[in-house]
Amino acid sequence: MKSIFKKKSIKKSTKRRLGILVYILSLVTAFLIQTSVIPLLPFLSASPNLLLILTFSIGFIHGSLPGMIYGLSAGLLLDLFYSGPFGFYSLIFVVIGYVNGFFCNVYYEEYITLPMIMCVVNEFIYHVYIYFFRFFFREKFDIPYYLQHVVLPAVVFSLMVTLILYRFVFSATEKIDK
Amino acid sequence: MENKKSKYIFIVLSVLCVMMIVISSVKDGIMNPIRNTIGYVLVPFQTGVNRVGFGIYENLKEHRTLAEVEEENKKLNEKIDLLTEQNNRLTLDSGELSRLRELYGLDQEYMQYEKVAARVIAKDSENWFQVFRIDKGSQDGIRVDQNVMANGGLIGIVTDVGLNYATVRSIIDDESRVSAMGLQSSDTCIVAGDLTLYEQGRLRITDIKKDTSIQEGDRIVTSNISAKFLPGILIGYAVDVKEDEKRLMKDGYLIPAADFNDLSEVLVLKQVKSDSFLDENSGDGRVMAGAGSADEILKNVSEQNTNITGTWAGMEGLTPLGEIDGTADPNSGLITAKDIVDTGDNVYTVKKADEKETTASGNNGGEEDDSGRSSSGRESSNRTRETEAREEETVENSARETEAPETETRETAARESSQAETESQTIANQEETSYQNNDSEEELIEENPNN
């Protein structure tokens, strides 16, 4: 009896703060793992894009606005650290967070194959965006090569990691919303 | 409502991102303060993760069997024997090389460049780009456009610097272009990174002139005409050189000398190529080892340089190298269009003030540049005041005469060659008082027969 009362006394604001803290922590951790740990592992030929997976998961589960904000912060982190014009990654992450929010109210979130389809589609859009703006304008038209050697490994790896990460985001959301 | 609100926010954020892209494409470095701050916080994490991972990896490596270690020991001993023999041969060669270099007066070699060791802590996670971060930054002396080497070959160039990190673009990145040349033939070419060749471990060489002699196996090094890369750094070896489809130029592939799979420690060359452009006065573009900035380069000129260029400069009537004050403005005493156009009181007062300034500064230092300036200041004031009253001229004459012995003592004291000091003084004084309207250059030329 006492335990039920204690759980009910957790206010909504602290729950929200806890949620935000968890997401910020996951953002930083994913960024560190994605940039420092994975590229230095010698046996991986491609790396899963953890920040992208987290962005569309949050967009899908929580809606457009949280997805956009998370996407913006992830994109900003990537922009600060990498080559290219500033704002390049922010733009695509914001768009992905927003668009995935549309599916929030439409589909049932526990259905596992849907995140996998979403992962493939989102990764594809992301890589096409990078290719189009950084390579196409420099007249590098060898699309089959890029598809086979860059996009495909990245998509496969991300798919494998989506199964784990999406579950993580989903269960974290459930625990916090209890 | 929720949808509308998020739609507006989406539009605002997209517009913001596009603006940031446009601004940062047009103006470099505008995001640097933010990059610096966040990098300052996050880079220690990246460094920490890297150290932990490296430590674990080293630990795992230690647990190998004794047989493996013995085998490796044997191989290493064989290699040592080979290397010792090579080393002996090379020592003989290098003795001859240094003698030949002395003969030609060259002392430029990239081994003399000051280097900083750094460690790779993060890489761009996409396969689209080959950009990585190192754990040294501006507080360790890293600057933009410094070249990065590893394993004896060129690796990349620094593109971005923060307080405690730097971003390096590797030469195998798709957007990288290095101006290079063949070592034996000195024919220039361009080494370009290409994503499609990344799997094969190659880069492309383009723009080789048709009648050059770059062949298979030729060493390719960075060229002297490169705007950003220091000359003479080994990039790799040429393979497969043949004419291109249009039969105007040749192109080929390059196998890089450095190993890109295994990058953990790199060396950053502290010398930036654009610094040596400021070194024009030294006559032969020498690079001094250990010199960081242009000022230091100017001040650290060796004796040999001074002697050579001293006589050379003296013969042409210019100030010898050793006495050039790098901080002085060489154009301050020159006649400008404004002086020619303006006649009248303004110019007089300005030039008088100028003269007083140069007198004052002349009293302080022993710089020949000052004497050059003051004399030219006098000459310019002479020309513009030809229509002035005589009182002003006599005032100026007395000023010049008091200045003359001072400038003379300074000039002779500054020269290192032996002169009869009293002789030159009296002769110079006579020249100055008699030829009032001479150029400053003519003055110096007339004194030089006294050397």
pLDDT higher than threshold 50 for residue A134: yes
Dihedral over alpha carbons A58, A60, A61, A65 (to 10 degrees) = 70
Contacts of B245 (CB under 8 A, 6+ apart): none
Residue B329: Cβ-neighbour burial (10 angstroms; 0-12, 13-18, 19+): exposed
Q: What is the DSSP letter of B225?
A: T
Q: How far apart are CA B441 and CA B379, in angstroms?
A: 11
Mean per-residue pLDDT, A150-177: 85
Residue B141: Cβ-neighbour burial (10 angstroms; 0-12, 13-18, 19+): middle
pLDDT higher than threshold 90 for residue B79: yes
The 3-state DSSP class for residue B249 equals: strand
Determine whether the interchain pair B122/A38 forms a contact, defined as Cβ–Cβ distance below 8 Å. no
Locate the chain A residue with the closest alpha carbon to B174: A135
Q: How far apart are CA B229 and CA B148, in angstroms?
A: 10
pLDDT of residue B271: 84
Mean per-residue pLDDT, B128-138: 88
DSSP for B48-104 reads: HHHHHHHHHHHHHHH---HHHHHHHHHHHHHHHHHHHHHHHHHHHHHHHHHHHHHHH
Determine whether the interchain pair B10/A68 forms a contact, defined as Cβ–Cβ distance below 8 Å. yes
pLDDT of residue A147: 85
Mean per-residue pLDDT, B154-159: 91
Sequence-distant contacts of B23-30: CB under 8 A, at least 24 apart = B23/A86, B24/A85, B24/A86, B24/A87, B25/A85, B30/A86
Q: Distance of CA B447 to CAs A32, B318, B424, B444, Å?
A: 70, 12, 7, 5
pLDDT of residue B381: 44
Determine whether the interchain pair B125/A68 forms a contact, defined as Cβ–Cβ distance below 8 Å. no
- Between these two residues, A54 and B336, which has the higher pLDDT value? A54
Determine whether the interchain pair B24/A87 forms a contact, defined as Cβ–Cβ distance below 8 Å. yes
Determine whether the interchain pair A72/B125 forms a contact, defined as Cβ–Cβ distance below 8 Å. no
Share of chain A above pLDDT 90, in %: 13
Q: How far apart are CA A39 and CA B221, in angstroms?
A: 29
Task: Answer yes or no: are the C-beta atoms of B321 and B303 closer than 8 Å.
Answer: no
Distance from CA of A163 to the nearest CA of B (A): 20
pLDDT higher than threshold 50 for residue A78: yes
Q: How confident is the model at residue A1 (pLDDT cuts 50, 70, 90)?
A: low
Q: How confident is the model at residue B185 (pLDDT cuts 50, 70, 90)?
A: confident
pLDDT of residue B332: 58
Q: Which residues 153-212 of B have a C-beta within 8 angstroms of A?
A: 159, 167, 169, 173-175, 195-196, 198-199
- In this predicted model, what pLDDT tens digit does every residue of A10-33 receive, in sequence order? 677 888 888 888 888 888 888 888
Q: How far apart are CA B195 and CA B347, in angstroms?
A: 64
Q: How far apart are CA B273 and CA B267, in angstroms?
A: 16
Mean per-residue pLDDT, A150-176: 85
Interface membership of A57 toward B (CB under 8 Å) = no
Residues in chain B within 8 Å Cβ distance of A59: none
pLDDT of residue B291: 44
Determine whether the interchain pair B53/A81 forms a contact, defined as Cβ–Cβ distance below 8 Å. no
pLDDT higher than threshold 70 for residue B410: no
Task: Answer yes or no: are the C-beta atoms of B179 and B205 closer than 8 Å.
Answer: no
- Between these two residues, B362 and B194, which has the higher pLDDT value? B194
Determine whether the interchain pair A68/B9 forms a contact, defined as Cβ–Cβ distance below 8 Å. yes
Residue B166's DSSP bridge partners are: B134, B161
- In this predicted model, what pLDDT tens digit does every residue of B301-349 receive, in sequence order? 444 454 444 444 444 445 555 555 555 555 655 565 666 555 555 544 4
Q: How do beta strands B153-161 and B147-150 pair?
A: antiparallel
pLDDT of residue B80: 93
Position A19: which residue type?
A: G
pLDDT higher than threshold 80 for residue B286: no
Distance from CA of B218 to the nearest CA of A (A): 28
pLDDT of residue B105: 55
> A37-51, B276-290, B305-319: which has the highest mean pLDDT?
A37-51
Q: Which residues 62-121 of A have a C-beta within 8 angstroms of B?
A: 63-65, 68, 72, 75, 77, 79-88, 90-91, 94-95, 98, 101
Detail the DSSP E strand segments found in B124-218: 131-134, 147-150, 153-161, 166-170, 177-182, 188-192, 203-209
Q: What's the mean per-residue pLDDT of chain B? A: 70
B39, B45, B198 member nearest A32 (Cβ): B45
Q: How far apart are CA A175 and CA A22, in angstroms?
A: 11
Q: How confident is the model at residue B391 (pLDDT cuts 50, 70, 90)?
A: very low
Residues in chain B within 8 Å Cβ distance of A81: 35, 39, 122, 133, 167
Q: How far apart are CA A150 and CA A127, in angstroms?
A: 9
Q: How far apart are CA B38 and CA B42, in angstroms?
A: 6
Locate the chain B residue with the closest alpha carbon to A158: B126
Task: Answer yes or no: are the C-beta atoms of B163 and B36 closer than 8 Å.
Answer: yes
pLDDT higher than threshold 60 for residue A69: yes
- In this predicted model, what pLDDT tens digit does every residue of B12-22 receive, in sequence order? 999 999 998 88
Lowest-confidence segment of A70-74, A104-108, B106-110, B175-179 by average pLDDT:
B106-110
Distance from CA of B209 to the nearest CA of A (A): 23
pLDDT higher than threshold 50 for residue B284: no
Q: Which tokens sit at A49?
A: 């894009």
Distance from CA of A9 to the nearest CA of B (A): 28
Task: Answer yes or no: are the C-beta atoms of B20 and A66 closer than 8 Å.
Answer: no
Indicate the helix (H) or strand (E) that contains B430: helix B421-434
A35, A83, A91 member nearest B21 (Cβ): A91
pLDDT higher than threshold 60 for residue B385: no
Interface membership of A145 toward B (CB under 8 Å) = yes
Return the ∠ at Cα A144 (arms to A142 and A149), rounded to 5°.
Answer: 100
- Between these two residues, B436 and B14, which has the higher pLDDT value? B14
Mean per-residue pLDDT, A38-57: 82
Note the Cα B399 to chain centre separation in Å: 43
Q: How confident is the model at residue A106 (pLDDT cuts 50, 70, 90)?
A: low
Q: How far apart are CA B220 and CA B226, in angstroms?
A: 13
Task: Answer yes or no: are the C-beta atoms of A157 and A48 closer than 8 Å.
Answer: yes
pLDDT of residue B94: 87
The 3-state DSSP class for residue B418 equals: coil
Give which of A81, A131, A149 to mutate to test B binding, by max B Cβ within 10 Å: A81
- Between these two residues, B54 and B410, which has the higher pLDDT value? B54
Residues in chain A within 8 Å Cβ distance of B22: 85
Contacts of A68 (CB under 8 A, 6+ apart): A59, A94, A97, A98, A101, B6, B9, B10, B13
Q: How far apart are CA B90 and CA B87, in angstroms?
A: 5
pLDDT of residue B78: 92
- Between these two residues, B87 and A80, which has the higher pLDDT value? B87
Share of chain B above pLDDT 70, in %: 58
- In this predicted model, what pLDDT tens digit does every residue of B207-248 receive, in sequence order? 888 777 788 888 888 888 888 888 888 899 998 888 877 878
pLDDT of residue B333: 57
Mean per-residue pLDDT, B149-169: 88
Residues in chain B within 8 Å Cβ distance of A150: 126-128, 195
Q: How confident is the model at residue B158 (pLDDT cuts 50, 70, 90)?
A: very high
Q: Which residues 270-309 of B have a C-beta within 8 angstroms of A?
A: none
